[in-house]
Structure 1
Amino acid sequence: MYLEHLSLTDFRSYTQVDLTLAPGVTVLVGSNGLGKTNLVESIGYLSTLSSHRVSQDGPLLRFGTDRALIRAQLVRGEQKVMVEVEINASRANRARINRANPVRARDILGLCRTVLFAPEDLALVKGDPGNRRRFLDDLLVVLLPKHAGTRSDYDRVLKQRNALLKSARSQHFSRSGVSEANLSTLDVWDEHLAAAAAQLLAARLDLLTRLRPHVGEAYAQLTDGSKLLRAVYRSSLEPGEMHDGPSPDIAGESVVGGVGGEEDGDVLSLCTVAELTEKYRTELLRSRTRELERGMSLTGPHRDELDLLLGTAPARGYASHGESWSIALALRLAAFHVLDEDKHVAGNQPILILDDVFAELDTQRRRKLALMVASAEQVLVTAAVGADIPEELAGSTIHVIPGGVAADE
């Protein structure tokens, strides 16, 4: 797959910009602040319907406007498809495929597959567990768009259940007891949460099985191979992995602890969805008293962790800055390979985007990364200085100028 044409209207800093691209390597060069990242951010948005820079859509609209439009002409094997997304400030986003009638935005998921690496990806290593959970879930949606529903179903049930737990907690403090009606309603939401959680956990574990070999291999290729990188899933279904540390925030950030071996995730990956559902039912019942005391759900995929182990030590807190960059790159390259191996649609290799990557790498790692990605069908690279790009990634150059772009003569 490759992107043949991109048009943006009122997206970020652009009133209007049109970009014509070709297969192979394209380098977007321009001084910082001119909008290089805005261009690749829009392409990534088509893939996941979210930005890698902000959690809400509002900042994607050019200041003072109430809608933005992303339009892309994609080439997938022998087919071409036009994809449009309208991002709205005050109503639901809409999309079009081949200029047909508007559809739900999420109906375009799977049409534009991208893997985007950006400086923000250091949070995959150094940030809180929510960043690593989002990495898995975003990749799930790109790989199998149906999991957008899996994810939203779980979030919806979790929100409702947390509201009930918060209400029950207030009732407990005000009346010294929780009503039978609330407990009965909680039983119902436990069933919903167990079913939704099992679906999401099963999908994550299956994805991690695909990712693991590529993560280790990519890291070895980027470095001297002296340290092994492993990805280990920690589930809140394992009570021994939980601890009562600082209270999580409203979003329910993970408080999963421990390093250990890979046994927990490996055992769970052998379970069916029905078996996982039953495990969640059991754990929800076991933790009910604590949940009523805390007023929030303490069991579920929103509490899980993807541990990244460098050698025997957790990468978070122990990896150097250079190692952290390589780990984050390895995760994205592993995602690229997982998508590339998915052969359900011909010509569906993802577009690889490297946003401001090479300035942070030494010469040796620049060359190693360049050799690893040069054969991809389409690679889009941004850089403030063209000299940062290794000669192994020689290709066409587009200069980003104030308000637009200009190709090399």
Structure 2
Amino acid sequence: MTRLRLADFRNYRSLAAETDARFVVLYGDNGSGKTNLLEAVSLLTPGRGLRRATYRDMAREGGSGGFSVRADIVSAAEEATDALTIVRPDEGAASPRTLRLDEAPAKSLDDLLGHCRLLWLTPAMDGLFTGPAGDRRRFLDRLVLTLDPEHGRRSLDYERAMRGRNRLLAEDRRDPVWLSGLEEQMAGLGLAIALARAETVQRLGALLAARREGAGPFPAAELELSTGYGPLDLSRPAAETEDEIAARLASGRAQDRAAGRTLEGPHRAELTVTHLDKNMPAALASTGEQKALLIGLILAHAGLVANSCGLPPILLLDEIAAHLDPARRAALFGIVESLGVQCFMTGTDEALFSAIADTARMLRVDKGAIS
């Protein structure tokens, strides 16, 4: 990404920043707007960005009520694509967010994935291994999305079908034909979601295992996925597996109605992470070890995406340098350089980035302005 422009986003009335460097460092005092800039960049992919905030919260207080994020994105050897995403939450449209690519309306936000892939790591993710399973599912789905652009749409369609089934089960008079149709839809989508997750876990796990020797400051992790379907053989023909899932949903209607929710499916999946060198669950590792594991996962996946898609991802690392000693900091900079990805980093102390100051785009952030 070579340029970023904002209007009425968070604490920025307007902004134009040159971002044409391997490393883009945003430094300044707490509360100056560094993470807001990362959040803006994170909207160059489908979803609600790295904070998962509402659009109303992203709009500048006292502004127009909407906002825009615009970027010049260079993928591979192609010319820059002008990507403009506009949010107008007060106009009552089915979707308040629209996308234009080189001034032409895009079919959907998923079109962004043809131009850039994004990965991020924020302080809010520090409790990933000890928090609820839903956090790890969202983390895994973000990894899957960078490899499989259809994953997000499948997940949204599955959630919609599941909510429809749950509402129907709660009614006194239930239409069995309608229920069967929703269950068949959930079976097909749910299997596709489970398969995409399993493939990502397998590929990333193999890469991490291969790098175990000499893993350096970022320890290797072992990944294990529970699909949410209990014992289910994903290696069988898809049609056969879908039929089994649909039959299990039909036979489980009474239990699901009593529980008030669907008890089986990819929405119940669990990702388990193990510290390989210590052979212990990541949840039991020290805070520092968990942070190092998470960084190692993100860096390994960035390499997997770059090699698989031919589209090196953009990394957004919020307040990363302050939590690393000088050796790990140097290792992080070196790995990012070797991966050939672009990396945005934030920090309060400019000196933390002195090792890359000569090549990085160093931007001082101060109360909604940069210099």
Q: TM-score, normalised by structure 2?
A: 0.89
Give the corresponding residue for 1:36: 34
Other structure's SS at 2:80 match: strand
Counterpart contact for 1:27–1:381, Cα < 8 Å: yes
The offset of 1:98, in angstroms, is 0.4
Counterpart contact for 1:110–1:144, Cα < 8 Å: no
Give the corresponding residue for 1:223: 217
Letter in 2 for 1:213: A
Give the corresponding residue for 1:371: 334
Letter in 1 for 2:315: L
Letter in 1 for 2:69: I
Cα 1:390/1:403, change in 2 over 3 Å: closer
Give the corresponding residue for 1:288: 253
Give the corresponding residue for 1:236: 228
1:163-174 equivalence runs, <5 A: 163-165=167-169, 167-168=170-171, 171=172
Q: Deviation string for 1:279-337 (max 9, x for gaps)?
A: 31243244333212112101110001011122443222x12101110122122112211
Letter in 2 for 1:235: T
Aligned residues: 360
Counterpart contact for 1:11–1:68, Cα < 8 Å: yes
Cα 1:218/1:329, change in 2 over 3 Å: farther
Give the corresponding residue for 1:139: 143
Sequence identity percentage? 28
Counterpart contact for 1:125–1:327, Cα < 8 Å: no
Q: Work out which of the residue numbers 192, 200, 203 in structure 2 matches 1:199.
A: 192
Give the corresponding residue for 1:120: 124
Give the corresponding residue for 1:254: none
Cα 1:57/1:279, change in 2 over 3 Å: farther
1:59 partnered with 2:57: yes
The offset of 1:55, in angstroms, is 4.1
Counterpart contact for 2:166–2:257, Cα < 8 Å: no
Give the corresponding residue for 1:299: 264
Distance 2:192 2:218 in 1: 38
Distance 1:332 1:360 in 2: 16
Q: TM-score, normalised by structure 1?
A: 0.81
Cα 1:277/1:35, change in 2 over 3 Å: same
Q: Work out which of the residue numbers 189, 208, 212 in structure 1 matches 2:205.
A: 212
Other structure's SS at 2:24 match: strand
The offset of 1:392, in angstroms, is 5.5
Other structure's SS at 2:119 match: strand
Q: Deviation string for 1:140-192 (max 9, x for gaps)?
A: 33323222321221111111112122x14xx4xxxxxxx5x444543332222
Other structure's SS at 1:72 match: strand
1:8-407 equivalence runs, <5 A: 8-64=6-62, 65-76=64-75, 77-90=77-90, 91=93, 92=95, 93-101=97-105, 103-165=107-169, 167-168=170-171, 171=172, 179=173, 181-216=174-209, 221-223=215-217, 229-238=221-230, 268=234, 270-311=235-276, 312-316=279-283, 318-343=284-309, 348-375=311-338, 376-389=340-353, 391=355, 394-396=358-360, 397-406=362-371
Q: Which moved more, 1:34-43 or 1:387-396?
A: 387-396
Counterpart contact for 1:197–1:301, Cα < 8 Å: yes
Distance 2:140 2:218 in 1: 27
Other structure's SS at 2:37 match: helix
Q: Which moved more, 1:19-28 or 1:4-13?
A: 19-28
Other structure's SS at 1:126 match: coil
Cα 1:286/1:35, change in 2 over 3 Å: same
Letter in 2 for 1:313: M
Letter in 2 for 1:315: A
Letter in 1 for 2:131: G
Letter in 2 for 1:349: P
| Gaps in structure 1 of 5+ consecutive residues | 172-178, 240-263
Counterpart contact for 2:73–2:116, Cα < 8 Å: yes
Root mean square deviation of aligned Cα:
2.3
Letter in 1 for 2:73: L
The offset of 1:58, in angstroms, is 2.3
Letter in 2 for 1:223: P
The offset of 1:222, in angstroms, is 4.7
Distance 1:43 1:29 in 2: 16
Distance 1:236 1:283 in 2: 13
Cα 1:102/1:208, change in 2 over 3 Å: closer
